[in-house]
Chains A and B, each alone.
Chain A
Amino acid sequence: MFRNNYDNDAVTFSPQGRIFQVEYAQEAVKQGSVVVGLVNKTHAVLVGLKRNAEELSSYQKKIIEIDSHMAIAIAGLASDARVLSNFMKQQSLGSKMTYGRPIPLDRIVAQIGDRAQTNTQHYGKRPYGVGLLVAGVDEAGPHLFEFQPSGLTHEMVACAIGARSQMARTYLERNLDKFQDCSRDELIQHGLSALKETLSQDKELTIDNTSVGVVGVTNGKKESFKLYEGQDTAALLEVLEQRESAGAEGESMEVDS
């Protein structure tokens, strides 16, 4: 009946040194629809593919604004994400209240990391079934962090989590040097291109299923987080289409030479 004896709780190691419940939680992340995050010297961008449970239902929210300087993109259990997002909202309001400053990204990421870790050390607890990409700006510039159910956090230059996210990661790895110095709008396009890579043959990016979030800082001037959804994404997707068709020719030229 059971696959093994070491997955009945989230606090017991297997003899191989694994915690199966945490690994299963990571599977939940892989089943979530894909989100992509990328950062360069001025901006941090999150893009997400929204899913609807059925034709008649609304689309699941993928990007949540935490504060004017920070947002998260989620893959996995949305309800677990909400718990984390509420916590992050509280913390960032607290920082604004006490110090009058936006909470530094590394600080708040460490806090959710610690919370997730305690779930793997107290009996009766369950790991968060969600992975997060945390994007934002602070005194030290734009940042992107990845958060996993294990409590592991990494600062990234680009990242994708969720179903078929490997395709997006491949795109990001190949184009890394292109978006380090690129503009805000180009960075968004790279995000959308990466997102598009993950789609199966019969799918397309539409204004209904695409979410884009941007936050940045240029010459010390903060650009508050902006979320593009629905009709607001139309212009972005149009540019993407133009680039793709122009790029396709460019690509083939390169191959020829």
Chain B
Amino acid sequence: MTSLMGNHSGTIGYSFSEPTSANVKQHSFYPYTDNGGSTLGITGADFAILAGDTRSTSGYNINSRMVPKVFKIGGDDETGEGANIILSVVGFAADGNALKEKLDTMVRMYKYQHGKSMSVGACAQRLSTILYEKRFFPYYVHAILAGLDEEGVGALYSYDPVGSYEREQCRAAGAASSLIMPFLDNQVNSKNQYIPGSGEGHALVPKKAEPLDKETATKLVKDAFTSAVERHIEVGDGLQLVIVTREGIEEVFHALKQD
């Protein structure tokens, strides 16, 4: 008659309580995935660049070779016309899209209500609060926001998934960030570069970081990605380059290796 005792054969049939372990169900649903890819942003005196590869992956599969990661914020839906802020998102693409749309809606409502475009600084603050709102079920993304500040100087803000942010000269995010960021430290912020012949050992004078011009920055972006493609399997297919200047937003695509 063991069957009458229920199927919890190892437990004693207490009359005052049912064993609870059998009723506790564990969710086997994991709401995130990593779609790979990498993004990077560089700013200068009068421009800001955001770039990302266009590959989308699930595990070892390539979902598509053409899924852009950089978006115009606050412009026309189809053309993006009228926008002056750009956002890149890398990580879980569905969260990235949701985040992009939420920010885009906010910026458009701002324009509708105030009759003027949102400044990059305000937009950066707002993005931080949007991310923090989901502190306990975060958007699984690394976001970078860029544009020109009120003085017309390139502005770039980078975020962690829960909204911590800071303004920087450059930032790499995503799968190959650990490959690209040191390269940027060296080439953009002149880390570990010294003025030749300025001294011996510790007396060497570090090279001061100078703001880059647009052409140099663009070259660095391309080099960073061609190198990342060689070393990281989740990066490749295409390079999307979006550049904000006083004249507006320019977007170009370049081919990357598809292997």
Name the interface residues of A50-100: CB closer than 8 Å to any CB of B. 65, 68, 89, 93, 96-97, 100
- Beta-carbon nearest neighbor of A66 in chain B: B112
Whether B105 pairs with A222 at a CB distance below 8 angstroms is no
Name the interface residues of B76-113: CB closer than 8 Å to any CB of A. 76-78, 81, 101, 105, 108-109, 112
Whether A93 pairs with B78 at a CB distance below 8 angstroms is no
Whether B77 pairs with A93 at a CB distance below 8 angstroms is no
Name the interface residues of B58-77: CB closer than 8 Å to any CB of A. 76-77
Alpha-carbon distance between A85 and B105 when the two chains are bound, in angstroms: 16
Whether B101 pairs with A222 at a CB distance below 8 angstroms is no
Alpha-carbon distance between A65 and B105 when the two chains are bound, in angstroms: 15
Closest approach, in angstroms, between the C-beta of B116 and any C-beta of chain A? 14
Neighbouring A residues of B109 by C-beta, 8 Å: 89, 93
Whether A68 pairs with B77 at a CB distance below 8 angstroms is yes
Q: A224 near B: Cβ within 8 Å?
A: yes
Whether A222 pairs with B108 at a CB distance below 8 angstroms is no
Whether A97 pairs with B105 at a CB distance below 8 angstroms is yes
Number of interface residues of B (CB under 8 A): 9
User: What secondary structure prevails in chain A residues at the interface with B?
Assistant: mixed
Neighbouring B residues of A222 by C-beta, 8 Å: 78
Neighbouring A residues of B101 by C-beta, 8 Å: 97
Alpha-carbon distance between A68 and B77 when the two chains are bound, in angstroms: 8
Alpha-carbon distance between A40 and B50 when the two chains are bound, in angstroms: 43
User: What secondary structure prevails in chain B residues at the interface with A?
Assistant: helix
Whether B81 pairs with A224 at a CB distance below 8 angstroms is yes
- Beta-carbon nearest neighbor of A89 in chain B: B112
Alpha-carbon distance between A65 and B81 when the two chains are bound, in angstroms: 16
Neighbouring A residues of B108 by C-beta, 8 Å: 93
Number of interface residues of A (CB under 8 A): 10
Neighbouring A residues of B81 by C-beta, 8 Å: 224
Neighbouring A residues of B105 by C-beta, 8 Å: 93, 97
B77, B78, B101 — most chain A CB neighbours (10 Å): B77
Neighbouring B residues of A100 by C-beta, 8 Å: 77
- Beta-carbon nearest neighbor of B111 in chain A: A65
- Beta-carbon nearest neighbor of A94 in chain B: B105
Closest approach, in angstroms, between the C-beta of A98 and any C-beta of chain B? 10
Closest approach, in angstroms, between the C-beta of A165 and any C-beta of chain B? 27
Neighbouring B residues of A102 by C-beta, 8 Å: 77
- Beta-carbon nearest neighbor of B112 in chain A: A89
Neighbouring B residues of A65 by C-beta, 8 Å: 112
A-B pairs with beta carbons under 8 Å apart, 16 shown? A65-B112, A68-B76, A68-B77, A89-B109, A89-B112, A93-B105, A93-B108, A93-B109, A96-B77, A97-B101, A97-B105, A100-B77, A102-B77, A222-B78, A224-B76, A224-B81
| Given A68-B76, A93-B108, A102-B77, 5 more pairs with CB closer than 8 A | A65-B112, A93-B109, A97-B105, A100-B77, A224-B76
Name the interface residues of B174-232: CB closer than 8 Å to any CB of A. none
Neighbouring B residues of A89 by C-beta, 8 Å: 109, 112
Closest approach, in angstroms, between the C-beta of A171 and any C-beta of chain B? 32
Alpha-carbon distance between A97 and B98 when the two chains are bound, in angstroms: 10
Closest approach, in angstroms, between the C-beta of A62 and any C-beta of chain B? 15
Alpha-carbon distance between A97 and B78 when the two chains are bound, in angstroms: 13
Alpha-carbon distance between A65 and B111 when the two chains are bound, in angstroms: 11
Q: Mark B106-139, 1 if CB is under 8 A from A, else 0.
A: 0011001000000000000000000000000000
Neighbouring A residues of B112 by C-beta, 8 Å: 65, 89
